[in-house]
A and B are shown apart, each in its own frame.
Chain A
Amino acid sequence: MEIAKVNQGIDLKDYNDVWIIGELIDGKVHPVTIELIGEGKKLAEKINKKLNVVIVGHGVKGITERLLHFGVDKVLYIEHELLKDFNTEGYAITISDLIKERKPEIVLLGATSIGRDIGPRIAAKVGTGLTADCTKLEIDETDGKLLQTRPAFGGNLMATIICPNNRPQMSTVRPGVMAKAVHVDYAGGEIEVINPKISKDDLRVKLIDKIVSGKKRVNLIEAKVVVSGGRGLKEASGFRLIQELAEALGGEVGSSRAAVDAGWIESPHQVGQTGTTVRPDLYVACGISGAIQHQAGMHESKYIIAINKDKNAPIFEICDFGIVGDLYEIVPAMIEAINEKHFLEI
């Protein structure tokens, strides 16, 4: 097998257009795809190029048509029956072949379990750099290069990464960070169906089963209210109290990394640099000191409430309202006050 190489002195002018690699889950478009279209559109306008969305799948023409309502110039629909379900190699081969053929200037993927799985594999096939988990994308006014900003060291540091001599410039972008593209009634652009060269032998990993967990899926990203617990809970059972407050406020349960590391709660609940980024209207941090790595995942919440014993905890620097005290006294009192209030309103 020929391994791709970087820094081969390519002519950057041969590369045009901004591509979004769309993501479908159970026949639905992942919200991050719409966010990427919104962001990609801004970037494409800056460099005066077109915005295309790549969709990989089988029998999802209806979806490709719907995407045209978000202001994209073209949907590149890679259609093949072997691509019905997500498959690393199937997706990586067909997308990278198309990139090599069409030469986009910028390629964006969602920093989801799928984007972060195929992104590096595509970059390695194409021979270019990839910047993971970006939270900000800008165009350098002087030379039009893409400035990809991402947190590092658990969010303690922000780094702006460039990919100066190779194309496309590829990034995975954190879900929930970019503003979604606006849906318009008018469907512009066109759909081009691509018939990829791919055979069964290319897919060395075979899907044999899919288990959709019986438990309610944690949906932190779209939650309006997130109530999180951390080390200050002292034990796993503390999450029952967090759950009660979350229910009273109509929100989801989140957690700090410390609580996940302690085994008190499963990792899908984790908010922060290594977990999920949330931007709810209300974020309640209970017994969370607010290490920078946690802040990275929640500091853009509209309102932040902090409850902590330690008045010097960094969480109090970024909260809107803080209470210094024992969460085991304060949270039950809050639940009571909220429930009383609901009662009065009925």
Chain B
Amino acid sequence: MDFNFSKSEEVIQKVAREFAEKEVAPLAEEIDREGRYPFETFDKMVKCGFTGIAVPVEYGGSGGDDITKIIVISEIAKKCGATAAILSIHAVFVQTVLKFGSEEQKQKYLPLVTSGGKKTAFALTEPNAGSDAATVKTTAVLEGDEYVLNGTKCFITGGNVADYVVVFASTDPSKGVKGLSAIIVPTSTPGFSVGKIENKMGIRASQTAEIIFDNCRVPKKNLVGKEGQGFKIAMIGLDGARIGVAAQALGLAEGALEESVSYMKERVQFGKPIAALQGLQWYIAEMATKIECARWMIYRAAYLKISGQPFTKEAAMAKLNASETASFVTNRALQIHGGYGYMKDYPLERMVRDAKITEIYEGTSEIHKVVISRAVLG
């Protein structure tokens, strides 16, 4: 058993931390307030190879694996949950193409979306298909060499800025879940349009949009895997995504703890720094312990995934626990900051808002409990 990072991982963590402090932190408040997508930060992340993590170098990727991904996403989330969310969701498209795409698709798309700087989205959710992905209404009908897509997807992170979207549509509505297929749609395709952009509570800079397909024609070769494999592809994609969201939650919690520690040493009440107050010391102990627990659950899930072992249950547990930890820790951190924590001058209230989504998206906590209990009860 070895709980140590390799030398490269240590260096990656140092670089990601520096990147987060210098490039991400200065924008966090502004992009949250304005709900503005941080295009400039995305481009910088491309240059550092953050968008190509866990993609082989021969496809334009950066190499590395899920451990690398956790390191980078959590360091960025310490400073900005939205920027971390952008990176984490981008990885879902990338990993879907890597895992299920044909050689031709991999050679075509992976260089574009890793080192090429193109943006992506993962379009599964529909107004009537949230946790229940089987009720997808969007259709893709084969006409000659083309699929014709019709339907609406909602709550699509980055849907309005993406260059490519992997869309889950029904190629055979008679088969229900088994009729779902995954299709890559370039957003420049006629018939693709962006609908409502959501006004969200948190991760406001990672824009969430409704996307609409109106007789949107894409070549047949854009089908990922086979017809009818869509549900399986989506679920495996979400398994991987859970690790990313968990890393985002971990980073938010770690960031909130760091803010609290430095505030408690600086803030003087009753003639001494509030770090001397035992009540608050106990808060810190609880926060730190929960974070430690969350961290190792995530790394263990990633380890199972990398070593080719089943990891669905562990990824679900890691995500469930990390997101609840993020909410708990950011709330406590806000409390420690007192009135200041409630003000927008400090990052705590943003962190609380950003943490909440981790309990909801890429599978709610409740859905994760379903996944976990099924695995445990058999």
Main secondary structure of the interface of B (DSSP, over half): helix
| Complex partner residue of B26 from A235, A311, A324, CB under 8 angstroms | A235
Closest Cβ–Cβ distance, residue A210 to chain B (whole Å): 34
Name the residue on A nearest B262 (C-beta): A310
Closest Cβ–Cβ distance, residue B22 to chain A (whole Å): 8
Distance, CA A309 to CA B26, complexed state (A): 21
Is B266's beta carbon under 8 Å from chain A?
yes
> Mask for B296-309, Cβ within 8 A of A = 1, else 0?
00000000000000
Check if A310 sits within 8 Å of B266, measured CB to CB.
yes
Is B268's beta carbon under 8 Å from chain A?
yes
Name the residue on B nearest A263 (C-beta): B22
Distance, CA A324 to CA B266, complexed state (A): 11
Closest Cβ–Cβ distance, residue B82 to chain A (whole Å): 20
Name the residue on A nearest B268 (C-beta): A311
Closest Cβ–Cβ distance, residue B125 to chain A (whole Å): 38
For B268, list chain A residues within 8 Å (CB): 311, 324
Closest Cβ–Cβ distance, residue A224 to chain B (whole Å): 33
Name the residue on A nearest B21 (C-beta): A262
The B-contacting residues of A in range 52-99, CB under 8 angstroms, are: none
> Mask for B4-34, Cβ within 8 A of A = 1, else 0?
0000000000000000000000100000000
The B-contacting residues of A in range 272-313, CB under 8 angstroms, are: 309-311
For A310, list chain B residues within 8 Å (CB): 266
For A235, list chain B residues within 8 Å (CB): 26
Distance, CA A235 to CA B30, complexed state (A): 13
Distance, CA A310 to CA B264, complexed state (A): 11
Distance, CA A324 to CA B271, complexed state (A): 13
Closest Cβ–Cβ distance, residue B60 to chain A (whole Å): 31
For A324, list chain B residues within 8 Å (CB): 268
For B26, list chain A residues within 8 Å (CB): 235
Name the residue on B nearest A324 (C-beta): B268
Distance, CA A235 to CA B22, complexed state (A): 12
Q: How many A residues, CB 8 Å from partner?
A: 5
For A311, list chain B residues within 8 Å (CB): 268
Name the residue on A nearest B22 (C-beta): A262
> Mask for A201-220, Cβ within 8 A of B = 1, else 0?
00000000000000000000
Distance, CA A210 to CA B376, complexed state (A): 76
The A-contacting residues of B in range 251-271, CB under 8 angstroms, are: 266, 268
Name the residue on B nearest A235 (C-beta): B26
Closest Cβ–Cβ distance, residue B21 to chain A (whole Å): 10
Distance, CA A310 to CA B268, complexed state (A): 9
Distance, CA A311 to CA B268, complexed state (A): 9
Distance, CA A310 to CA B26, complexed state (A): 22
The A-contacting residues of B in range 264-289, CB under 8 angstroms, are: 266, 268
Closest Cβ–Cβ distance, residue A281 to chain B (whole Å): 31
The B-contacting residues of A in range 292-346, CB under 8 angstroms, are: 309-311, 324
Distance, CA A235 to CA B27, complexed state (A): 11
Closest Cβ–Cβ distance, residue B286 to chain A (whole Å): 26
Distance, CA A309 to CA B263, complexed state (A): 11
Distance, CA A309 to CA B268, complexed state (A): 10
Closest Cβ–Cβ distance, residue B41 to chain A (whole Å): 16
For A309, list chain B residues within 8 Å (CB): 266
Closest Cβ–Cβ distance, residue B203 to chain A (whole Å): 23
Distance, CA A281 to CA B8, complexed state (A): 51
Closest Cβ–Cβ distance, residue B40 to chain A (whole Å): 15
Name the residue on B nearest A309 (C-beta): B266
Name the residue on B nearest A328 (C-beta): B345
Closest Cβ–Cβ distance, residue B141 to chain A (whole Å): 54
Closest Cβ–Cβ distance, residue B346 to chain A (whole Å): 11
Distance, CA A36 to CA B26, complexed state (A): 45
> Mask for A110-129, Cβ within 8 A of B = 1, else 0?
00000000000000000000
Closest Cβ–Cβ distance, residue A231 to chain B (whole Å): 12
Distance, CA A311 to CA B266, complexed state (A): 8
Distance, CA A309 to CA B267, complexed state (A): 9
Closest Cβ–Cβ distance, residue B19 to chain A (whole Å): 14
For B266, list chain A residues within 8 Å (CB): 309-310
Closest Cβ–Cβ distance, residue B132 to chain A (whole Å): 46
Closest Cβ–Cβ distance, residue A12 to chain B (whole Å): 50
Distance, CA A337 to CA B268, complexed state (A): 26
Distance, CA A311 to CA B26, complexed state (A): 26
> Mask for B141-159, Cβ within 8 A of A = 1, else 0?
0000000000000000000
Closest Cβ–Cβ distance, residue A233 to chain B (whole Å): 13
Distance, CA A192 to CA B268, complexed state (A): 67
Closest Cβ–Cβ distance, residue A262 to chain B (whole Å): 8
Closest Cβ–Cβ distance, residue A187 to chain B (whole Å): 57
Distance, CA A311 to CA B273, complexed state (A): 10
Distance, CA A311 to CA B271, complexed state (A): 11
Closest Cβ–Cβ distance, residue B20 to chain A (whole Å): 14
Name the residue on B nearest A262 (C-beta): B22
Closest Cβ–Cβ distance, residue B26 to chain A (whole Å): 7
Distance, CA A309 to CA B273, complexed state (A): 12
Distance, CA A311 to CA B269, complexed state (A): 13
Closest Cβ–Cβ distance, residue A306 to chain B (whole Å): 16
> Mask for B324-362, Cβ within 8 A of A = 1, else 0?
000000000000000000000000000000000000000
Closest Cβ–Cβ distance, residue A189 to chain B (whole Å): 55
Closest Cβ–Cβ distance, residue B202 to chain A (whole Å): 23
Closest Cβ–Cβ distance, residue B150 to chain A (whole Å): 49
The A-contacting residues of B in range 210-239, CB under 8 angstroms, are: none
Distance, CA A69 to CA B266, complexed state (A): 56
Distance, CA A190 to CA B268, complexed state (A): 66
Distance, CA A203 to CA B125, complexed state (A): 71
Distance, CA A265 to CA B308, complexed state (A): 51
Distance, CA A235 to CA B28, complexed state (A): 13
Distance, CA A324 to CA B267, complexed state (A): 11
Name the residue on A nearest B26 (C-beta): A235
Distance, CA A27 to CA B9, complexed state (A): 56
Name the residue on B nearest A261 (C-beta): B22
Closest Cβ–Cβ distance, residue A98 to chain B (whole Å): 49
Closest Cβ–Cβ distance, residue A203 to chain B (whole Å): 41
Name the residue on A nearest B267 (C-beta): A309
Distance, CA A103 to CA B268, complexed state (A): 63
Closest Cβ–Cβ distance, residue B29 to chain A (whole Å): 10
Distance, CA A84 to CA B268, complexed state (A): 61
Distance, CA A215 to CA B1, complexed state (A): 61
The B-contacting residues of A in range 230-251, CB under 8 angstroms, are: 235
The contact sample of 5 A-B pairs, CB cut-off 8 A, is A235-B26, A309-B266, A310-B266, A311-B268, A324-B268
B-side residues, CB < 8 A to A, are: 26, 266, 268
A-side residues, CB < 8 A to B, are: 235, 309-311, 324
Q: Which 5 A-B pairs have the closest CB atoms?
A: A310-B266, A309-B266, A311-B268, A235-B26, A324-B268
